[in-house]
Amino acid sequence: MYILECQDRFYYTGMTWSISNRINQHIRGFGSKFTRKHGVKKLKFVAEFDDFEEARETERKFKNFSRKKKEGLFNCDVELMNRE
């Protein structure tokens, strides 16, 4: 599971079997319609899972995080993450 920061400051959350291949797809414009439209600035977060369903569940949860909560995650700010 990973989160990208887009060129226009949006965040994209996804999951993949190969982070390097997936990032290259996003950069080349083949990753998703969202990243093709918003561009890719940098990889902000990666989490690895042994269990596919756990990864999928975590991805769904993170997609619903507010911008502030995602930034709290990036900065390891547990207090900020728990406020919302």
- Please tell me the pTM assigned to this model: 0.87
Range of the domain at 74: 2-83
- Say which residue the tokens 């990208």 belong to: 4
**Structure tokens given for 43:** 């990889």
Mean pLDDT of 22-26: 95
Give dist(CA 58, CA 39) in Å, integer: 24
Q: Residue 2 — pLDDT band, cuts 50, 70, 90?
A: very high
For the stretch 25-69, pLDDT in tens is: 999 998 799 999 999 999 999 999 999 999 999 999 999 999 989
pLDDT of 78 over the 80 cut? no
Mean pLDDT of 63-83: 81
CATH code of the domain in which 11 resides: 3.40.1440.10
Give dist(CA 40, CA 56) in Å, integer: 22
Q: Within 13 Å, how many C-alpha atoms sit on residue 67's CB side?
A: 5
Structural domains counted in the chain: 1
31, amino acid identity: G
